[in-house]
Every structure is written in structure tokens, then in C-alpha cells.
Chains A and B, each alone.
Chain A
Amino acid sequence: MNRRFPGYDVLTKRTGPSWNEATRQAVDLRLAVPREPRFFSMAEWAVLDRVSQRIIPQPPGRPPVPIAALIDAKMLRMGAAGTRIEPMPWDGDAWKLALAALEAEAVMRHGQGFAALDDRTADALLTAMQKGEPAGAPWQRVPPGLFFAKRLLPDIVEAYYGHPTAWSEIGFGGPASPRGYVRLDTNRHDPWEAAEAKSEGDLKAYRHNRHVA
């Protein structure tokens, strides 16, 4: 249960005046993203999945946002386009190289694959990557600090915070066309926005949020 915005689910507005047809179609597609690798190999996917879980640990009690699946879909769509930063290759290849490098680093340091590491060890390895420490041959075209900051974090953030589950979690109003908003002032919100719990188990906020539509 969402403690900050109890009972709020942005999807209850899906058929109301805050969502247009283009939005419904786009979000429906995202919710239906295939939960298996299409761009990545099984081995790459296992590392990616574990990385995603450590970058954004998801709370129990609700279906997790399928971060790895969303990144897989994105790379399938645009992995060979966009902007590449020297010396990294195009995004899809960069991901594959970085996941392989991370796996090799885990094996070298701990004698087992990244997906098998316990939380603390995995986080320590990711921290080392963020700081740009790993230096072996596998990292040559994907400098660890650069990849972590420019590809790994943004892609995971985009997958998670582009999902309705995350919008509900942070109390974002979500899609808002054609209705938009009326109350713009400090501490004001429309009936179709999430109410924030002012204390643990705030029933007023809960009742409000159950009626958001």
C-alpha cells in the first residue's frame, strides 16, 4: 500500500476526461510490454534485471514495474539510433558490452555472476562502476563511470518513472488532456489529483484518493 498517497491509482482516471485516446493507446502498449528478452540474450537479461532491481528496489505488495522488459523494448526500437558519446558505441551495443563487462567484473572479484551476488556486494560493485573504478579490457569502449551516468541510470529511470505505477507512487497527476488543471496555487489541488497523507493512516487522504477519476 502506498503510504504517501494512500489509495491513489492514476489508472482510475484512464477512461475519464484526463486521458485522450492517444494516451490510452501509448500506456496500454507499455503495460503490455512482453516480459521476455527480445533484444538481449538470456544471460544479458539476467544481469540487466538484477541491476534494475538494485538501482530501483521496488516495494513488495504490488506488481513490480518490468524495468528490464522496458529497456529491452527501447533498445529494440532505438538501440541503433540517437546520439552516441565518444568513445561509446550506439546504445544497444553499449548496453550489451557493459552488461558483459559487469558480469566479468563480478566473476573476477567474487567468483560468481552478478545476478547471484547478495545485495550488498552487488551495490558495492555498482558503486565502483559509478565511480569509474573498473579498468579491465571489457570496459574499454564503455568507460564504467560514463556508461553508468549517461546510459544505465537514465534508461532505468525512464523505464520506471514512465510507468503509471511510479506516477501513483509519487502522487503525480499523470496524463491531463483534455481536462488539465484548475487549482494551481500552493497547497491546492483539484479533486482529480492525489491527496497526500499528512500522517500515518490518513483516512481523509485515502477517501479522497479512492474517488479520483
Chain B
Amino acid sequence: MREYSLDDEVDFLIIGTGAGGGTLAGRLAEMGFSVVALDAGAYFRPLDDFASDETEQEKLYWNDRRIVDGGTPLQMGGKNSGKAVGGSMVHFAMVSLRFRPEWFRSRSVLGYGADWPLDWREMWRYYREAELALAISGPVTYPWGPKRPRYPYRAHEINSAGRLLALGAEALGYQWTETPLATVSAPRGKSPPCVYRGFCRFGCSTNAKQSTLNTWIPRALAAGAEIRDLAMAGRIEVKGDRATGVHFHREGAWHFQRARNVVVAGYAVETPRLLLNSATSRHPHGLANRSGLVGKYFMTQSNQAVFGRMRDEVRWYKGPPSFTITEHWNYDDRKDFFGGYCWMAQGPLPIEWGFIQTGARGLWGEALRQDMLNYNHQVGLKMVGETLPDAANTVTLADEVDQYGLRIPRITFSWGENDRKLIGHAISEMTRSLEAIGAEDIFPQREDANHLAGTARMGFTPEDSVVDADCRSWDIPNLWVCDGSVFPTTGGVNPSLTIQAIALRTADRIKAMAGRGEL
């Protein structure tokens, strides 16, 4: 690996190496820019370091101090935040979906949320590039949305839980398909095909999973980027309206790395936190925050579910959890609420299943232990739903500090009325689907959320957003944000492919601007 000295003024210093930062680091390095990418997490070697174990793999999560409050405080940690080179994708569930085109114009076309300053046709090209980079395994024809080419790798065979989703969807008259997944169905480079061990959300110890960690990071290294792990960025230094570098903590001490451009890619909580923690007398409310929108419009996605029990043995612990999907309600607008959702097959491992039994049904005692014996007969459907952007949902700074002495984030969240309506619709639809396949003892899991977004939204003017379409901050021209926090709305599908597509577009835009001397 090439290494830069602290005095080298690198072209791009990227904070965070996940879906946004890792992808951008790879592309910018390949374009010939000098790149250093910091990550607070460790650089894991999956073959040696990853156990098949829910508890041990907590080492992949962001478990630094955070405070949650609001009407429905969010559960943070494994479900939504990673801390490792490769970011949250190291333990993501690999579902790789494109937005519905109208979502980029949801305000003007669908009447809610905010428009994106991006054109879906352009995004379609970058989605394709991201799908090729991760060798997504998926169906020959995808049933929803504008035509797209066939996926690079063939779809995986389907497990019992996935088969049951298909049966239920057919009974309801909805289309379903094999979920496009970022795990290979045939060998690719150093990746063997997926062996269906089912621990995907705890890190893939075989490297079949195609995450930032084993796609873009190796490409970044090969192109001369430096990946600096266990390096926590604490403050971005600015002089006037230019960023000059970043203070980071590594091996017990603070250091300062100089840079011509700084990119923040720490995801929807750590990104606003770092911008707010970097306030100066000239930027008293935090960097890139003249609009007052840093930390505002924090979003998650609804991740409620419905579970039931089959007479048959399902053994949902085998394989990626979400082999099949229906996006029916992302494309059918006959609803009395805004936004859409999809649902997917499920395969919680024992601890997570225990959380659901206690959390959703309040079971404990002998009732819990007896019910858990039916583990191999359970079946479930889980939604990924759109949450509307709401200025009252925020990430702000608390007065308490973390292990580095940095002020910690306070995450304030409540579901809105539209969110509740959407969730109610999804729960009743998923319930109908399980009833149609003869599941018994059906129950809903009414509280759950997953992916994060918002807090540094992109937009059209310095007043309505934190960054422009190129992820460049309006206030400080050499400060960029490239991660899930730039989303003005979340759409009803998992976000990582969109984050990667935005990063790929940003890299192209940076190259073009550099060529014109506009950086």
C-alpha cells in the first residue's frame, strides 16, 4: 500500500470507507488523484477474522456512545451502523435495488418530500456501473420499472423462506422475483460462490459477498490510494471558506492530515456530527451549515415485519436472508398515503429471533423458551418502507463526550402520521400473504427500522440544501459529502446501490471539474 505523509497535501482526504466513501476512493484513485481514506474501524480480513457468530461479530458495529430520544427513539447499532473499512456494507444484507425513477422527483411528480437535483436517466447508467462493479446476482428480467439489462451474475437458487414469499405473492396476484444480491452465484476473482451459510449480516467469512471491503477498497489500493484504518476524524480544519485538512485520532494521539479537498462519508449520524463538531467562529453553527440543514431531515426506513409458523420445516437460517422480493407497492399508487415499500423473505438467526419474540410479543419465561423450539418452522416477511423527511427528526450534539473527548450525537426521531399509515398498510398486506400460504400463529412486529438517510441533503440552492447535485457543499467549495446523508428522500428500497451510484457520478463530475480547473 502506498502511504502519504501528514505533510503531503493530498488531492482528496475521505472520511469513511463505506458505500459512499469507499466507492469514491476507488474511482478517484483510478482517475489519478492522490487519495487518503480514513476509517475509524479496523481493516478486517474476512477469511481469518470473521466468526460465524452473532455476538462476536458485534466488532463490526458502530458502538461508540450515542443518545436516542424522540417519540419513538431509534435502536442504533448493528441494525444500522458499521465501523470497519468497507463501512456498513461489511455486514449489510446485500439487497441491491434501484430507485423507482419518479422518486427523484417525488415532490413535483408524486406530491411529497423533496425533489433530487439528479436525473433518473443519468442515475440508470450509474446504477448499471455499480451493479457491474459488485457483480450483482439477479433475475434475467426485473418485473418493475423501466427496462434494465440482465444482471451480471445469474440469480441464486431460492431457499424455503424465499419460496414461501413467492407462493404468498402469487396468491395475492402480485409479481415477485429473485432479489438482486451482492453475493456471487459463481466464482469471481478471489470470491468463491456463496455457500449459503446465512451469517451475511454478521460479515461474510468466505468473501462471496461483494461489499466495498472486497471490491472498491482493493481497487483503491491498486490505484495508489492509502486506506488508514483505526483513524477517527475529530475535526475538519478550515481557513476562511476553504478546508485545509483533518484532525484525526490514531494510535493514542491526534494528528493532522493536510488535503486539498475533504470528503465526509461517515453516514447519516457521524457525518452531521463531524460537520457540527468542526464549528469555527466564522462557521459558528458547524461547517456547510449556513442553511441550518446539517443534521435536519434525519430519516430511517420502516422495517416492520409479520411472522408465522408453518407445519413444514423452513429452516430460514440458510442462505442470504432475502432471496425473494415483491416491489408491488412501490409501483402501485392506489394507496391513501405517500411513498412506497417492498417486502422480502426473512431469516433471523437465534438471537435476533429472540429479540423479535420478546420485543414484538413481550414473551418471556417458559412461554418464550417453548415458542423458540419452533425456530425451524418460522416464516416471515419484512418490509423496507419509505419514511417521509421531517425537519423535526434530527441529529444534534449532546453535551456528553465519547472516548476521544468529542461531543456525541443525539438522535431524535418519531414516526409521522404518513409513516404509520404506510406501515399499517404493509403489515396488513404481509399478513394476507402469510395467511394465503397457511401460516399459523401470525403476529406483526410493529416497531423496527433500519437504513438511515438525510442530515446533509442535496438540493438546488444554498438555501434548500447542504450540498449540490455533485455532493459539493455550497458554503465550502472544497468540502464534499458523499454518503447516505445526501438523500433528500429515502424511497422504498434499500439504499446502498443508490449511494454507490451517486459516488460514481460524483467521481465523474470531479474529474470533469478538475479538467476545467473548477476544483
A interface residues (Cβ-Cβ under 8 A, vs B): 4, 18-23, 25-27, 30, 54-58, 78, 80-86, 90, 123, 126, 130, 149-150, 153-154, 157-158, 160-162, 166-167, 169-182, 184-189, 193, 196
Q: Across the two chains, which residue of chain A brings its CB closest to B164?
A: A186
Instruction: Specify the chain A residue showing the minimal Cβ separation from B160.
Output: A186
Docked complex: B53-108 residues within 8 A CB-CB of A? 53-56, 63-69, 73, 75-77
Contact A83:B317 (CB < 8 A) given known A158-B351, A175-B51, A181-B195: no
Q: Considering the complex, which residues of chain B in the window 361-396 have a beta carbon less than 8 Å from any beta carbon of chain A?
A: 362, 364-366, 368-369, 372-373, 375-376
Residues on B with beta carbons closer than 8 Å to the beta carbon of A181: 195-198, 318-319
Closest residue to B163 on the A side, CB-wise? A186
Give the chain B neighbours of A22 by CB distance below 8 A. 48-51, 56, 205
User: Which listed residue, B53, B76, B196, B375, touches A184 by the CB 8 Å rule?
Assistant: B196
Contact B364 A177 (CB under 8 A): no
Q: Which residues of B contact A153 (CB under 8 A)?
A: 358-359, 364
Partner of B365, one of A57, A171, A172, A176: A57
Tell me how far the C-beta of A178 lies from the nearest C-beta in chain B, rounded to whole angstroms. 6
Whether B353 contacts A161 by the Cβ 8 Å rule is: yes
B140 interface hit (Cβ, 8 Å)? no
Binds A, one of B307-315, B448-456, B463-471, B478-486: B307-315
Find chain A residues with CB under 8 A from B69 CB. Answer: 85-86
From A86, A166, A180, contact of B197 by CB (8 A): A180
Cα distance, A188 to B375, chains bound together (Å): 15
Given contacts A57-B366, A83-B68, A158-B55, contact A177 B158 (CB under 8 A): no
The answer to whether A170 and B373 touch (CB under 8 A), given A30-B55, A82-B77, A158-B55, is yes
B53 touching A175 by the CB < 8 A rule?
Answer: yes
Let me know if A171 and B355 touch, CB within 8 A: no
Residue pair A171, B75 in contact (C-beta under 8 Å): no
Contact between A172 and B317 (Cβ–Cβ < 8 Å)?
Answer: yes
In the complex the two chains form, what is the Cα distance from A82 to B375 in whole Å? 29
Of B157, B349, B357, the most chain A CB neighbours within 10 A belong to B349
Which residues of the other chain, A, contact B55 by a CB distance below 8 angstroms? 26, 30, 158, 162
- Chain A residue nearest to B162 (CB atoms) is A184
Which residues of chain A are within 8 angstroms of B141 by Cβ–Cβ distance?
Answer: none
CB of B53 within 8 A of CB of A23, answer yes
Q: Is the CB of A149 within 8 A of B313?
A: no
Most chain A CB within 10 A, of B160, B358, B403, is at B358
Tell yes or no: B152 within 8 A of A by CB. no
Q: Which chain B positions have C-beta within 8 A of A161? A: 350-351, 353-354, 372
Q: How far is A150 from B205 in the complex, measured between Cα atoms in Å?
A: 30
Distance A161 CA – B371 CA, assembled complex (angstroms) = 13
Q: Which residues of A contact B313 (CB under 8 A)?
A: 186-189, 196
* Sample of 4 further A-B pairs with CB below 8 A, known A18-B52, A153-B358, A158-B55: A154-B355, A162-B55, A171-B373, A179-B197
Q: What distance in Å separates the Cβ of B425 from its nearest Cβ neighbour in chain A?
A: 25
Query: How close is B363's CB to chain A, nearest CB, in angstroms?
Result: 9
Query: What's the nearest-Cβ distance from chain B to residue A171, in Å?
Result: 5
For A26, list chain B residues within 8 Å (CB): 51, 53, 55-56
Known: A170-B373, A184-B157. A177 touches B52 (CB 8 A): yes
Flag if B197 contacts A85 (CB, 8 Å): no
Q: Smallest CB-CB separation from A18: which chain B residue?
A: B52
